[in-house]
Amino acid sequence: MLRINFLRGQVRNLASASSSSGNATAAGPFYAIKDQVDQYIYARSLPRKWKPVVYREKNADLLTSLDAVDNDGRPIVPRKYPGIPSKTKFARFIDDLLLPEELNAVKETISKMDKYAVDFFAPSVINSLLYKSAEFGTFGRDLTFVYNLQNYRSENVFGPRNIEAIILLRAIQAEQYQITDLNWVYRKLRHVFKHNQRAEKETLLIYASNLALLRQIELNRKSSSQSFSEKEQAILAKKIDKVVEALNKKIEDPVYKFNTEEELKDAAKNFDRWQHAYSILKLLQRNLDESQVEVGKKILPFLEHVEKLQEAAKIDESLLARLEKIKFRAEAEEGEEKPNSAEEADQAENPSSADKA
């Protein structure tokens, strides 16, 4: 941790020297929220009988005399109870990481959280981890890390908001690599829905992100010199039509209710609040064609609203803009289930399937 703090200080000093603001952030205060999260997880890891001894000052001498050790073999010493940390602050901490080593340290924290403090998991924390891993070029590896968490199968921990983020990243990746193979979509998404099939019925943003991804595949095919059989084209068209139909049933006009006048009073906060939905729907808007005009009409007022908030808050860059700067690295296909044919992919367990027969 000392090395990371030193590197963080070096990186931030360089950034400060090249900026006009000159406001460098010290590594120590930056890590305050992570330290609190680590201390909270430690408190949750202790057996109940130890907590009064560890966190009550009057028991300090008793604890010292016991010569006890914790789960990692370290001496159990008197501590001050850290209180319950803010999940939002921890997610923003991850958003602001500068070094891959820092993300590795966060993963160690999340592994312990998975074991001792499942209640602290939040979709925003997982999504921040995934977005940052994509930025550092470790998305495939770190997505596998998330899949291997012992509570991954719990839809209370890993749910729709995370699925939406993964599909969003895959859509951006598909554009970057000009993916035309529908089997690639099957491989990249099959595991996402394996233990979260209920999510399909709960969120329009899963349909929206899935449509953005499928339309990206279609756009890539149109610009490709590769030829595709009528059967391959028909399967993709059928999947797109199915998702459009489902989305039209799910989506309202407008897609979200908002009060622009009220939200402009705290434009920065409300802009941040809408970033997840805006990123998905903005990407979808760009990928729609003339046959999906009704979807476009329904999402346009919301997109314009968020853009007004961004302008009022004088925020230069949206989440989507940051994600689209990511340069995805080629990934090994480890752990992916590959179908034998496009027809088999069409029957995959994901929301874009034609029929789950």
pLDDT in tens, 300-347: 999 999 999 999 999 999 999 999 998 887 655 433 444 444 444 444
Give residue limits of the domains in the chain.
159-346
Phi, psi for 69 (deg, rounded to 5): -125, 155
Higher per-residue pLDDT: 155 or 120? 120
Least confident range of 61-75, 140-154, 255-269: 61-75
pLDDT in tens, 41-56: 999 998 888 888 788 8
pLDDT in tens, 217-238: 999 999 999 999 999 999 999 9
How many beta carbons lie within 10 A of that of residue 356, not counting itself? Answer: 11
45-50 contacts at long range (C-beta below 8 A, 24 or more positions apart): 45/70, 45/71, 45/112, 45/115, 45/116, 45/117, 46/70, 46/76, 50/76
Q: 178, 176, 121, 188: which is closest to 149 by C-alpha? A: 121
Residue 100 has pLDDT above 50, yes or no: yes
Six token digits for residue 52? 């009064």
pLDDT band at 68 (very low <50, low <70, confident <90, very high): confident
Q: Answer whether 349's CB lies under 8 Å from 190's CB.
A: yes
